[in-house]
Amino acid sequence: MPTYEQLGYGLGAGELTRDRSREVFGQVMGLVALTLGCTALGAYIGRNLNGRTGLFLFIGAFACIFGLNIASSRGREQLAIALLFGLGLLLGLAIGPVVAAYAKAEPAVVWQAAGATAGFVAALGAYGYATRRDLSSWARGLFWALLGLILFGIIGLFVAIPHGNIIYCIAGLGIFGAFTIFDFNRLRRANMASAVPIAASIFLDIFNIFLFFLELFGSGRD
């Protein structure tokens, strides 16, 4: 069986690198698309679930995140992919009632959020993938920014902050927009072994951005 290098004999190293990059990009984005499909399916199935069930679904989703990273690190790609799809399905089930409520009250809000998410991710993802800079130094800052966002959200549950919901959504879009740039920049340098974890990261970026847009547009209709 000829190896990749043997099949590419006579090609420049740059061409081989570009071919491999395109292969990894296609694999990752294919996984992201399928996971989003699982989320859409879960949202439809879980449209009538109650809030208590959602809590357990989110716990299951966190377990899938940890599991797929462990499976990927041990070379169990098929298990990692199954957990990735499970992650998408569980998160879809968890947000099903929320999306259904928005769709019932104002269907245009859901489509606007989906369209804004697509444009937002496409623009920032293209920048992250196109830039030649290594943005790995962003990791620590993004981690602390995310913790700050979570803390702000918890405080907002107990303290009335003027326009707190809008501030939270805009801050969330800024942080997950930066995560989108960061993750697509990682994708530019990734190999096939890291395809599933990066696909999970990009999926979570898209998922959270959609929820922030949904909340932002929905608040504007109140």
Enter the tokens of residue 32: 């992201």
Enter the tokens of residue 86: 């499970």
Q: Write down the pLDDT at residue 11.
A: 38
177 secondary structure, DSSP code: H
Q: Write down the pLDDT at residue 138.
A: 93
Place of tokens 């190999």: 191
Mean pLDDT over 46-71 rounds to: 89
Phi, psi dihedral angles at 34 (to 5 degrees): -65, -35
Residues 6+ apart with CB under 8 A from 142: 175, 178, 179, 182
Q: Strand, helix or coil at 160? A: coil
Q: Write down the pLDDT at residue 144.
A: 96
pTM: 0.88
Residue 4 lies in a domain: no
| Residues 140-169 pLDDT 10s | 999 999 999 999 988 887 887 788 889 999
Q: How many domains does the chain have?
A: 1
Reported residue count of the chain is 222
- Domain encompassing residue 111: 11-221
Residue 182 lies in a domain: yes
Residue 6 lies in a domain: no
| Residues 96-114 pLDDT 10s | 999 999 988 888 999 999 9
Residue 88 lies in a domain: yes
Residue 83 lies in a domain: yes
| Residues 61-95 pLDDT 10s | 999 999 999 999 898 999 999 999 999 999 999 99
**What is the pLDDT confidence band of residue 1, given thresholds at 50, 70 and 90?**
very low
Mean pLDDT over 15-22 rounds to: 68
For residue 5, pLDDT beyond 60 = no
| Integer CA distances (angstroms), 6 to 3, 57, 148, 192, in order | 5, 47, 50, 19
Query: Element (H or E) spanning 189, and its range?
Result: none
